[in-house]
Amino acid sequence: MAAFAVVGVYILLDGDGGRDGILGDGFGDSTLGDHFSGDMPDPYYLELKPADVHNPDDVIRYSSSIMGRAADLPVFERAAFYEWYFKSHGFDVSFAYAEDFAETGKDHLWLLVKNQKGEVIEVDPSFSAVGGRSMVPLDQVYTSYDREYMDIFEAMDGLGRDRLAWWKDGSALQILNENVLVAEKERAQRMAEA
């Protein structure tokens, strides 16, 4: 197991300090757990083992698997972190933004996960911050929003990069690092099978 981790780190960091490896510019620190200097990951989305994106239960299962790592993130960063995780696992997910959520005078950001039939599952990683009872709320307030952003890049253009920069958080960064190694392992397995 340790040998595999060493090989994975070598593959990840091979080349110009890791800058021309799987993670692109900004990555390449030689220490696992701190691959970059706080810049946005490049590439941003990973190609991880796909979830059963047509099964609503997988939305809950995947949400639960990272809940603890995102608990300390502010609302907008938490939504961006979940969006990255879901999209990297093949979910069709976008952001929903309300300027005056539930007539509270505060803005809010949550996710819209679509299945193959076009049905939408609202997912609010910060449900408790707005008085919700569930991460997958059934409340009508979630069906009304001012803007939909299709990915992190559109959301950053509309809401600002700093409000979404989950990758600067240590716990979220650990999930990123773990998933980068998984992605590299899966890529190596596909190459070996080809």
SS (H, E, C) 145-159: CCEEECCHHHHHHHH
Tell whether 129 and 66 lie within a shared domain. yes
- Report the DSSP beta bridge partners of residue 36: 27
**Region 1-5 average pLDDT:** 39
Tell whether 76 and 161 lie within a shared domain. yes
Q: At what angle do helices 56-70 and 170-193 cross, to 10 degrees?
A: 130
* Residues 6 or more apart whose Cβ sits within 8 Å of residue 70: 78, 81, 82, 125, 166, 171, 172
Residue numbers of the domain that contains 29? 2-47+169-193
Tell whether 127 and 109 lie within a shared domain. yes
> What pLDDT, on a 0 to 100 scale, did the predictor assign at position 10?
36
Report yes or no: 182 and 8 within 8 Å, Cβ to Cβ. Answer: no
Tell whether 67 and 103 lie within a shared domain. yes
Tell whether 188 and 93 lie within a shared domain. no
Report yes or no: 46 and 180 within 8 Å, Cβ to Cβ. Answer: yes
Q: What is the pLDDT of residues 132-170, one digit of tens each?
A: 888 999 899 999 999 999 999 999 999 999 999 999 988
Tell whether 37 and 106 lie within a shared domain. no
> What pLDDT, on a 0 to 100 scale, did the predictor assign at position 92?
93
> What pLDDT, on a 0 to 100 scale, did the predictor assign at position 107?
97
Tell whether 69 and 159 lie within a shared domain. yes
Band of pLDDT at residue 9, cut at 50, 70 and 90:
very low
Cα 156 from Cα 140, distance rounded (Å): 26
Tell whether 178 and 161 lie within a shared domain. no
Tell whether 20 and 76 lie within a shared domain. no
Which position has the higher pLDDT, 97 or 25?
Answer: 97
pLDDT exceeds cutoff 70 at 26? no
pLDDT exceeds cutoff 70 at 43? yes
> What pLDDT, on a 0 to 100 scale, did the predictor assign at position 73?
94
Which position has the higher pLDDT, 51 or 132?
Answer: 132
> What pLDDT, on a 0 to 100 scale, did the predictor assign at position 33?
37
Strand, coil or helix: 129? helix
> What pLDDT, on a 0 to 100 scale, did the predictor assign at position 87?
94
Tell whether 74 and 162 lie within a shared domain. yes
Closest residue by Cα to residue 69 from 169, 162, 151, 165: 169
**Region 48-62 average pLDDT:** 78
Q: What is the pLDDT of residues 83-96, one digit of tens each?
A: 999 999 899 999 99
Tell whether 135 and 91 lie within a shared domain. yes
Domains of the chain: total: 2
Average confidence score pLDDT of the chain: 80
Report yes or no: 111 and 86 within 8 Å, Cβ to Cβ. Answer: yes
> What pLDDT, on a 0 to 100 scale, did the predictor assign at position 30?
30
Q: Which long-range contacts (CB under 8 A, 24 or more apart) does 32-37 make?
A: 32/5, 32/177, 33/173, 33/174, 33/177, 34/173, 35/176, 35/177, 35/180, 36/167
Band of pLDDT at residue 38, cut at 50, 70 and 90:
low
- Report the DSSP beta bridge partners of residue 148: 96
Tell whether 97 and 19 lie within a shared domain. no
